[in-house]
């Protein structure tokens, strides 16, 4: 799906129901798996008066794959909703404590990866080694950390050590 197709879906499914609103074109953005559109009241755009401003609505995401429409809120910046959508297909998804290691790069530091997995999870040394050995054998491998923050940190460290990994998210 391209931007023009996504814009037509946005106009048909969202803006057609909001006659007193306009699309803020400067805020329209393209991402890997979706497009983000923003709207505001016509009166606010014309006058700049905060008494005319809509509040509470957030970006509207349109899926590149199937054109599904997701109206978000104002609790988080657009990047948060997009990160969640791209991770699990739901802009309201949440990160989990689970890490999936997808692959490794030439020269990856197996020993440091094993130590990291052992330190961040409840796995013992042989179990942490098995996780890394699976990846080195071209199989994806999964492990669960103690906390969501530990998973995020593990993904960053694994990248430093030459491994390609992602933190899994769950749909709400």
Per residue in 141-158, pLDDT tens? 999 999 999 999 999 999
Tell me phi and psi for residue 97, to 5 degrees. Answer: -90, 15
- Tell whether the model's pLDDT for residue 100 goes beyond 80: yes
Cβ atoms 9, 62 nearer than 8 A: yes
Specify the pTM: 0.79
Cβ atoms 36, 28 nearer than 8 A: yes
pLDDT band at 8 (very low <50, low <70, confident <90, very high): very high
pLDDT at 139: 95
pLDDT at 171: 86
Identify the structural domains of the chain with CATH numbers, from first to last.
3-88 (no CATH), 94-170 (3.30.1390.10)
Residue range 113-126: mean pLDDT, rounded: 97
Residue range 66-94: mean pLDDT, rounded: 95
DSSP class of residue 24 equals: -
Give how far Cα 161 sits from Cα of 25, 104, 122, 145, 164, Å.
Answer: 41, 9, 20, 17, 9
Tell me how far apart the 2 most distant CA atoms of the chain are, in Å: 66
């Amino acid at each position: 799906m391209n931007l023009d197709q996504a814009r037509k879906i946005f106009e048909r499914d969202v803006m057609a129901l909001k006659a007193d609103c306009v699309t803020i074109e400067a805020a329209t953005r393209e991402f890997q798996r979706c497009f983000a559109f923003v709207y505001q009241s016509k009166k606010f755009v014309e006058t700049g008066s905060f008494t005319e401003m809509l509040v509470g609505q957030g970006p509207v995401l349109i899926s590149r794959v199937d054109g599904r429409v997701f109206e978000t809120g104002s609790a988080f910046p657009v990047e948060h909703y997009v990160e969640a959508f791209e991770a699990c297909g739901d802009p309201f998804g949440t990160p989990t404590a689970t890490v999936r290691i997808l692959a490794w790069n030439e020269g990856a530091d197996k020993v440091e990866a094993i130590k990291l997995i052992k330190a961040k999870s409840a796995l013992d040394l042989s179990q942490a080694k098995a996780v890394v050995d699976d990846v080195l054998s071209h199989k994806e491998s999964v492990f669960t950390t103690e906390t969501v923050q530990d998973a995020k940190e593990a993904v960053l460290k694994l990248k430093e050590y030459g491994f390609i990994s992602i933190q899994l998210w769950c749909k709400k």
